[in-house]
Amino acid sequence: MHDHQYRESGQLKQIRTSGEPIRVFFAIWPKEAVWRQLCDLSEKLELVCGGRRTRAESIHLTLIFLGEMETSQLHTLCLAANTVRGQVFNFIVEGIRYWKLNRLVYAETGETPLELFDLVGSLKNTLSAYGFSFDHRTFTPHITLVRKVQRHVLPKSLIHLVEPIVWPVNEYILVKSEQASDRSVYTPIGRWSLESQR
Ligand code: 2AM
């Protein structure tokens, strides 16, 4: 085991890693009230659509999926993230959609906040400059709520939520993804604060 140290909002944190390759992605993760609302939504959808809802603790929005890398690269990845600047924003979950090709239902926003586009753009530029590779397709924010959907008849009240979910975002995280027998297990390994709007 090795300890990697990196700066996180002025503090030093430690990541314990083995010599195995590690699968990682950057994401935003809901807390408390927003988390509960997204869980409720996934439970309702599972009843309507069949399939398997995302486990409560795994609900998130991916910013950049990096995939597998050597654990020795993690230190540099965190140093790169230390140089990224982003601003706080509200992500408004306005409704849900069915993605036929992947047989999943996800939550989406009507208009992606500029701060979110800027954050992802800044992460992409910085990670590229540090030599990391990832998928360069246009960022389409989505929160996967149900997989392996069996019925794609979605209730109108959920396609456009009567009460949109307002998700205040003030940090983003680096997540380790591990494959358990039948599911992915996500563990946060780094956390970076976003700056308050002036
Ligand atoms: P998904 O929810 O649409 O599957 C962890 O796997 C996270 O990274 C998920 O949010 C997943 O999106 C996203 N992701 C993006 N590209 C991926 C890829 N090529 N393989 C696995 N996950 C990917």
CA distance 50 to 44: 10
- If you average pLDDT over every residue of the chain, what do you get? 91
Q: Which of 22, 23, 25, 26 is the pocket-test mutation for ligand 1 (most atoms within 8 Å of CB)?
A: 25
The rounded Å distance from CA 61 to ligand 1 centre is: 9
CB atoms within 10 A of CB 175: 22
Question: Residue range 62-90: average pLDDT?
Answer: 97
Residue 79 dihedral angles phi and psi, to the nearest 5°: -65, -40
Residue 15 lies in a domain: no
Please enumerate in sequence order all residues whose Cβ is within 8 A of that of 100, keeping only pairs 6 or more positions apart, or say none: 152
Residue 198 lies in a domain: no
pLDDT (tens digit, 9 = 90+) per residue, 158-181?
Answer: 999 999 999 999 999 999 999 998
Residue 176 lies in a domain: yes
The rounded Å distance from CA 189 to ligand 1 centre is: 17
Model pTM? 0.92
What pLDDT is recorded for position 4? Answer: 41
Among 184, 195, 197, 196, smallest CA distance to 62 is for: 184
What string of H, E and C letters represents the secondary structure of the chain? CEEEEEEECCEEEEEEECCCCEEEEEEECCCHHHHHHHHHHHHHHHHHHCCEECCHHHCCEEEEEEEEECHHHHHHHHHHHHCCCCECEEEEECEEEEECCCCEEEEECCCCCHHHHHHHHHHHHHHHHCCCCCCCCCCCCCEEEEECCCCCCCCHHHHCCCCCEEEEECEEEEEEEEECCCCEEEEEEEEEECECCC
134 Cβ below 6 A of ligand 1: no
- Total number of domains in the chain: 1
Residue 44 lies in a domain: yes
pLDDT (tens digit, 9 = 90+) per residue, 82-93?
Answer: 999 999 999 999
Q: State the pLDDT confidence band at 14, using cuts at 50, 70 and 90.
A: low
What pLDDT is recorded for position 41? Answer: 97
Atom 9 of ligand 1, residue of closest alpha carbon? 62
What pLDDT is recorded for position 20? Answer: 81
Residue 162 lies in a domain: yes
6 Cβ below 6 A of ligand 1: no
Question: Residue range 98-120: average pLDDT?
Answer: 97
What pLDDT is recorded for position 1? Answer: 32
Between CA 93 and CA 96, with CA 94 as vertex, the angle to 5 degrees is 90
What pLDDT is recorded for position 15? Answer: 58
Question: Residue range 10-21: average pLDDT?
Answer: 58
Q: Which of 63, 65, 69, 105 is the pocket-test mutation for ligand 1 (most atoms within 8 Å of CB)?
A: 65
Atom 16 of ligand 1, residue of closest alpha carbon? 65
Check whether 57 has a pLDDT greater than 50: yes
Q: What CATH number has the domain bearing residue 73?
A: 3.90.1140.10
Range of the domain at 41: 2-9+20-193
What pLDDT is recorded for position 6? Answer: 46
Q: Which two tokens stand for residue 90?
A: 């509200």
The rounded Å distance from CA 179 to ligand 1 centre is: 13
pLDDT (tens digit, 9 = 90+) per residue, 22-53?
Answer: 999 999 999 999 999 999 999 999 999 999 99
65 Cβ below 6 A of ligand 1: yes
Q: Which two tokens stand for residue 1?
A: 């085991």
